[in-house]
Amino acid sequence: MPVRIEKIRTICTAPEGINLLVVKVETNQPGLYGLGCATFAYRHLAVKLVVEEYLGPLLRGRDAESIEELWQLMHQNAYWRNGPIVNNAISGVDMALWDIKGKLARMPLYQLFGGKCRPAVPVYRHADGRDVQELCENILRFQEMGIQTIRCQCGGYGGESFGSFPAGVPSGAHRGVYLDSGAYIRNTVKLFEELRNRLGYEIRLVHDVHERIAPSEAVRLARLLEPMDLFFLEDPISAEQTEWLRELRRQSSVPIAEGELFTHPHEWRSLIAEHLIDFIRVHISQIGGITPARKLQIFAEQYGVRTAWHGPGDMSPPAHAANIHIDLAAMNFGVQEWSGIEPPNYVIQELKGPHGALLEVFSGLPEYRDGCVYVNEKPGLGVDIDESKAAKYPCETNVVTWTQTRKKDGSLQTP
């Protein structure tokens, strides 16, 4: 009997205070359903509406195994396409359909992609600190956990706290997170010089610019950081100005990871084909789920570009699992960002509190051990959700403040 979609619904939950949106696709087969991630933490109600009011009616009664057909149908049905709200909605359904496909095959998802290229997935973590001493202490703690690649920041992304007004800001300016790009560049170069002096060159270091400086400043920063032997410099150029990557590549050999904000294939196609980036690091729900992410991974492989998928806290466990399954089967895997979803015995209390609430809501999460993440070998994505527990942690709809970043003259700057 064909497997038909009977119902598509959303589960909104925030067990760690971050809005998560999980899509559940139920079928006409008793007990057969799939879970996917549609998390757009700052616009979750808009995504929820698209899933339940548009995609649900569109797909009800259709063949749940026709993933490519259904992805194209969802992508084209609204006529306008490749926006973050619609893409995240599509992603939730797409991941759930892959989850169902794996359950029908009685295989973990990576097997449907051709099987493992590696037994586990090496990950990188984020270390921060109020000063270089605290940062080094946190880096050493991660090293003790087996982490070999660490992203380093000191005091966030080079801005003041929200609502503060540093010297020189004009009167009447709006509240925000105020940035000083010149000071940020100077401090970052000094920081990495000191890290290399203290830690040596064996450990792989990463830094995230987060698009918060002008393109010409990003070129200068890359040149200054070149002696520090970074594993990669993350998102130095904003998604709207990626033509500057040609100039950055011309002037510096620092490896570049780009794409956290990408939503459309045209944003990455030429960057990969022209060898302007070394790592592609899209947020896979932002581009529409597993189906387009696999196509992107295979395309990047042809040009020697490696993957470093976005893996932050504002992703639900089904999305983290999807990252890991794709990584396991990808020849061009680079490294996987990992937000610290680990069993309590692996948690370093000073760096991140226990994930008790998350582990209460979700089961079957990929497991961290000694610098790598392992899937649990269950069919599909291997992750499940307890909806009664999820209801204990409702989402919030507060105004987002951390994205309200500004230059010292009071004008807005991309966050």
Catalytic positions, please? 157, 210
Tell me the C-alpha distance between 184 and 312, whole Å. Answer: 23
- Strand-pairing partners, residue 34, are 25
| CA neighbor of 85 nearest in space, from 55, 40, 18, 29 | 40
Residues 6+ apart with CB under 8 A from 345: none
* Spatial distance between the Cα atoms of 318 and 94, rounded to a whole number of angstroms: 11
Q: 141, 128 in Cβ contact below 8 A?
A: no
Question: What's the DSSP call for residue 229?
Answer: -
Alpha-carbon span 369 to 134, nearest angstrom: 24
- Give the whole-angstrom CA distance, residue 415 versus residue 412: 9
Q: Which of the 8 DSSP states describes residue 210?
A: T
Closest to 157 (Cα-Cα) out of 172, 138, 179? 179
Residue 176 DSSP class: S
Burial class (CB in 10 A: 0-12, 13-18, 19+), 348: middle
Q: Where are any strands of DSSP class E within 28-148?
A: 33-37, 121-127
Tokens 């090496």 sit on residue = 122
The one-letter code for the residue type at 29 is Q
CA separation for the pair 56, 49 (Å, rounded): 10
- DSSP, collapsed to helix, strand or coil, labels residue 257 as strand
